Amino acid sequence: MPINENDLELFLESTSILNSSSQNSIDKTTSNAELSNIEHSTLLIPQPPLLKTGTTLSELKTQEGNDYCNHDSINETEEGGKTDSIKQQEKNDDAFEKMHSNNNNRSCNKNNSYFNPMLQSPTRMPQRYNNYDEYMENKIFQQNKNDQKLIAEYEKQFNKTYPQIFKNTNIYINGYTNPTRLQLHKLIVLHGGKFSHYLTSKRNVTHIIATNLTSKKKIEFRKYRVVQPEWIMQSIEANKLLKWQDYALLLNDTNINNTTDIKTLVTKDSTKKPHLDCNHPDFLASFFKNSRLHHLTTWKLELQNKHMKSNPVGAHHNRIKKIIYYIDFDCFFATVSGLKHNENSSLPIAVSHGQGNSDIASCNYAARSFGIKNGMWVSRAKQLCSTLKILPYEFDSYRKISETFYELLYDKFDTVIPLSVDEGVFIDYPEDIDYKGISEKCMDIRNLLSTKTKCTVSIGVSNTLVLSTLCLKSAKPNGFKIFLPHNTEKEAVAKFVGSFQLTDLPNIGHKTADKINELYSPSSIITLADLQSNLSSLSSFNKLNKLGGKLSRKIILYLKGEDDIDNISKINTPFNYFRKKSLSVDINWGIRFQTIEQVYNFIDRVVARLASQLKSINMASSQYTIKLARCKANSPIEPPKYLGMGLCDITSKTGRFPAHTNENYIMSPEIKQSFRKLYIQAPISSLRGISITLSNLKTNNDRDIGSMLDRKTNNTLDNFPRLHPPLPHDVPLTMSNTENADQMVTVTPLLPSNDNNNNNNNNNNNRRSIEKRKSRSPAREFFNNYHKKKNQERAKHHFSTEIDENALKELPLEMQKEIQREYAVINLVNSTKRSALEAPKIIPKKKLESICCFNPPIPFQKLLNPKEITARLDTWILQNIERGPRTDDALLLVQYLRRLVKFNKKSMLLYIVDHLEEQIDYYRSYYRSASDDPQTSSNHHQMPDGILQWEKLLVLKILPLRESKNRA
DNA sequence: GGACTCCCTCAG
DNA sequence: ATCGCTGAGGGAGTCC
Ligand SMILES: Nc1ccn([C@H]2C[C@H](O)[C@@H](COP(=O)(O)OP(=O)(O)OP(=O)(O)O)O2)c(=O)n1
């Protein structure tokens, strides 16, 4: 049937006429006078659709917009095959669990989590739903609320209460009825019944009202109580619930066997809504919503963006002492969830999703006394302590308390470095060390936080990061420890460090601890004191090098309580240290694919997510790595953990994009090609995990032109966004020694070898060389330009961002470079910092306006946001998937898409059409796979007619629009 | 000997 | 049921 705009107008006209006439007819057919009054009173329930039941687009206008994850369709390209070596990884479930159990309080973490658009503009965004479940739940909740309002209104208007005849029933109306669906709905609700708008929802429907059923529906509903509308009317007249069997539409088993008892009747398959498996477009969102580790990563970046502050020059001023406070909530998740559920904290509790092979995110100290650890599976923990109480996650609360934590502490310190949702490094640079003042500060903070958050924190205080970490460890739980040794007290420091276990040191996890133990004492477990004494002999000293040069040097410094270069730059130049270097999505749960197309679709969705993240931080990437986990040949097909990865072989492959890009359509085909090269000689069903990392990131100098380019006309990389001159961070830093971590570090400059030989004892010579080099340093030039440009902005900052050139000259070259980098990075990230948030932004607004003028957006049902539009379409499709689209709705949609074509909104068109295609494909494959499966095969899984109608709409009306756009 | 790839380890 | 992420540094091996 051809659809054009005239059709639409005619259609809309006839709709309104018919609507009003149908209302009149209701009045006539209703015997109850009160009921006809009802019809004319304020309607809280939207008018029913004209010709068919089901939710219409117009009904949906009142719904909140939802937001699903962004997804685009990308065509894959050709590739050649090549074997990559597959290295085995001993990632069995035990080892994995052990790894995650290894939970000490450490400071050295160089993570960035990622930008979360939801937090970027919380007020502008409509309410969001991460998946259909959530959406439906909300919708049903809203509808029940409307029903309640209706009852209240009627009771008020007629000053009476209605007999609760339909109490405990849950009624769904199928097809056309007389009285109408709306009438019946009101009567049911007013008389105490529940009304279900959807049979697809999880709600338990007790009765279906129908006057007619297609033969297919007769079979589908044969196990329901299908009742004629008279049952409702006559029950109301009789003022009691009449036997439904007397009004049954179908003669079936249920009919005969059941008494009048009302039991929920839900057939297993027909009401089941599509399962949210890894093929569902919302799988990623629903997984992330529940993944604690994803939240930890995300929160870290958010918190660093919002609350991190530092004064790099001050930090380098060697006359100033530094006091490092390492502050961490005690068993954070367990405490917060315990509070929320009013649990007694002296009883063992743990936070987890499930009761069996589910990870414990956090357990309290009562549970730890049984040997339970974070990361352990619940099943094992229950063996250790059968009374262990499992509590659910309370992600929102964790995040809120963390916000309070950083807000309260922000003004109390010179430097704030958030390391996680529950722990941060806070630094003061006092003139003199006042021990009493420090301990009072600790007590004040602990009291303050305990009052404001009802959670306890522990604090470790020292003058190096490594010692602060150890202090925190010994302060836990619910305490604080201050250890501020003088430079001369080397033995005291060594003794303090020696009292800890190997894994208490940062960067020594269980693997490294095992290795060290193996090296020095295979038969017994050694402590740090043992390691210290072993290091006195040269041969023992050399043994440690088996761990690798960097790590062994680090450990040797740590054993003396000193920070290595890594820790020092983390403290002194945190903005540089935590600058973004890569961006990735890893999914190793719920991955169960059957076909390569499904994998490609999944990769498309992952890359779309990455691309939009890149764009949102205005960066581009030139390198990617795809990492795959494949179920080991001899391991069971389903691992112990539900939908877990189990024992896997891990392989990865790195590739390059033709240039720096943040475009989905460039990245996705490349990555899919690598997938085909990497994933060979194994069935798709063995795939258990996919990880995609983008690296070699660069910040775009200009606006994100790339994302605004038309895909077809501007797909040459020459048009790519111009980038900043590279930040001068490629110069390696070499540390010769740190006599005293509290003092200026000595750096070996990267000088010609003859200078290098005497740089320790010839300071002048050294300085001159630095001066010479400095003048032609591109980094310096870059910084100077940058400095000029950003001068004005910088004046706004709450800390001095004016670099003291004289002070800078005093420093070794490498330090200068690092400080310069720090300034550059600070300026780059400042737009997301708290200080910048307080000042209104001018430039982005202007840009936005100019874009809008140039390119006025086309609304769809008053919506402009593409995600809101697709969300509305998703709901529409979901609710009509088995019936097919209504003609008028289809017309509205097609008309909108034609406008997009007409006004050249190509990317929007592509986005919407791709999205529709994906949705419809998904449902088609859902029904197909269900009917192909001999075990669940039944009438309930037959491909509904509606699907065919949706496909027809897609293929005949929608896809051609995309093609016409391509030809244009 | 430097650049690059493919792991491995760690953190929370 | 169950939500096993993600960012960083580093080392061994390979290639030229
Ligand atoms: N394997 C892990 C480790 C930690 N976390 C989460 C839950 C923790 O509450 C939070 C903070 O981690 P910590 O290492 O600080 O551990 P806790 O706060 O639980 O205990 P504590 O710090 O008292 O040792 O991170 C997690 O989900 N899984």
What CATH number does residue A631 fall under? 3.30.1490.100
Q: How far apart are CA A816 and CA A807, in angstroms?
A: 10
- The distance (Å) linking the CA of A86 with the C1' of C7 is 24
A619 & A663 share domain: yes
Residue closest to C11 C1′ by Cα: A548
A587 & A666 share domain: yes
Mean pLDDT per 10-residue interval, chain A, length 968 residues: 33 28 30 30 24 31 26 25 30 41 33 27 34 52 73 78 83 76 81 74 67 64 74 82 79 44 39 70 96 98 97 57 96 98 96 97 98 97 97 98 98 97 96 94 98 98 98 97 93 96 97 94 91 83 90 96 95 95 98 97 98 96 97 92 96 96 96 95 95 95 37 24 23 24 22 29 28 26 29 30 51 61 57 35 29 56 73 67 77 85 75 72 52 38 67 80 59
Strand B nucleotides in reach of protein CB atoms, 7 A cut-off: 4-12
Q: Residue A18 falls within a domain, yes or no?
A: yes
In the prediction, which pLDDT does A104 show? 35
Residue located via tokens 């290091």: A535
Q: Which two three-digit tokens encode residue A552? A: 């062994």
Q: How far apart are CA A652 and CA A629, in angstroms?
A: 9
In the prediction, which pLDDT does A199 show? 64
Ligand 1 atom with the smallest distance to the CA of A458 is 23
In the prediction, which pLDDT does A109 show? 30
A663 & A769 share domain: no
Q: Residue A381 falls within a domain, yes or no?
A: no
List, in order, residues 6 or more apart from A765 with CB less than 8 Å away: A755, A758, A759
Q: Residue A226 falls within a domain, yes or no?
A: yes
Q: How far apart are CA A861 and CA A872, in angstroms?
A: 9
A670 & A750 share domain: no
Q: To 5 degrees, how large is the angle CA A29–CA A22–CA A236?
A: 35
Q: How many domains does chain A have?
A: 5
Q: Whose CA is nearest to atom 19 of ligand 1?
A: A331
- The distance (Å) linking the CA of A260 with the C1' of B12 is 56
Of A291, A297, A331, best ligand 1 pocket probe by most atoms within 8 Å of the beta carbon: A331
A192 & A238 share domain: yes
Domain boundary among A687, A703, A719: A703
> Is residue A681 classed exposed, middle or buried when 0-12, 13-18 and 19+ CB atoms within 10 A define those classes?
exposed
Ligand 1 atom with the smallest distance to the CA of A363 is 19
Sign (positive or negative) of CA dihedral A666, A670, A672, A673: positive
Residue located via tokens 């077809």: A712
Q: Residue A170 falls within a domain, yes or no?
A: yes
H or E element in which residue A664 lies: helix A664-678
Residue A860 C-alpha to ligand 1 middle, in angstroms? 45
Q: How far apart are CA A918 and CA A903, in angstroms?
A: 24
- The distance (Å) linking the CA of A84 with the C1' of C16 is 20
Q: How far apart are CA A929 and CA A168, in angstroms?
A: 36
Is the N-terminal amide bond of A840 cis, ω within 30° of 0?
Answer: no
Strand B neighbors by CB, 7 A: A 84-89, 99-100, 102-109, 111, 293, 296-297, 419-423, 503, 506-513, 623, 625, 650-656
A694 & A600 share domain: yes
Ligand 1 atom with the smallest distance to the CA of A422 is 11
- The distance (Å) linking the CA of A932 with the C1' of C6 is 38
Residue A439 C-alpha to ligand 1 middle, in angstroms? 25
H or E element in which residue A607 lies: helix A596-616
Q: How far apart are CA A208 and CA A199, in angstroms?
A: 9
Domain boundary among A195, A222, A250: A250
The closest alpha carbon to A197, from A185, A210, A214, belongs to A185
- The distance (Å) linking the CA of A679 with the C1' of C3 is 25
Residue closest to C7 C1′ by Cα: A111
Q: Residue A886 falls within a domain, yes or no?
A: yes
A95 & A180 share domain: no
In the prediction, which pLDDT does A293 show? 98
Q: Residue A948 falls within a domain, yes or no?
A: yes
Q: Residue A386 falls within a domain, yes or no?
A: no
CATH number of the domain where residue A225 is located: 3.40.50.10190
The range of the structural domain enclosing residue A889 comes to 866-967
Cβ < 6 Å from ligand 1: which residues? A 100, 103, 105, 292, 296, 328-333, 361-362, 374-375, 422-423, 476-477
Which nt sits closest to A515, CA to C1'? B9
Of A362, A368, A423, best ligand 1 pocket probe by most atoms within 8 Å of the beta carbon: A362
A115 & A174 share domain: no
Is the N-terminal amide bond of A274 cis, ω within 30° of 0?
Answer: no
In the prediction, which pLDDT does A370 show? 97
- The distance (Å) linking the CA of A681 with the C1' of B6 is 19
Q: How many Cβ atoms from other residues are within 10 Å of residue A292's Cβ? A: 18
Report the b/e string of A519-550 with b at 16+ CB within 10 A: bbeeeeebebebbbebbeeeeeeebbeebeee
Q: Is the CB of residue A943 less than 8 Å from the CB of residue A220?
A: no
A963 & A903 share domain: yes
A690 & A597 share domain: yes
What pTM was computed for the model? Answer: 0.58
Residue located via tokens 């894994």: A503
Domain boundary among A796, A819, A835: A796
In the prediction, which pLDDT does A638 show? 94
Q: Is the CB of residue A406 less than 8 Å from the CB of residue A424?
A: yes
A884 & A948 share domain: yes
A27 & A105 share domain: yes
Q: Residue A266 falls within a domain, yes or no?
A: no
Give chain A's end-to-end CA distance (angstroms, integer): 25
Residue located via tokens 């008389």: A191
Please give the distance of CA A104 from its chain centroid, rounded to a whole number: 25
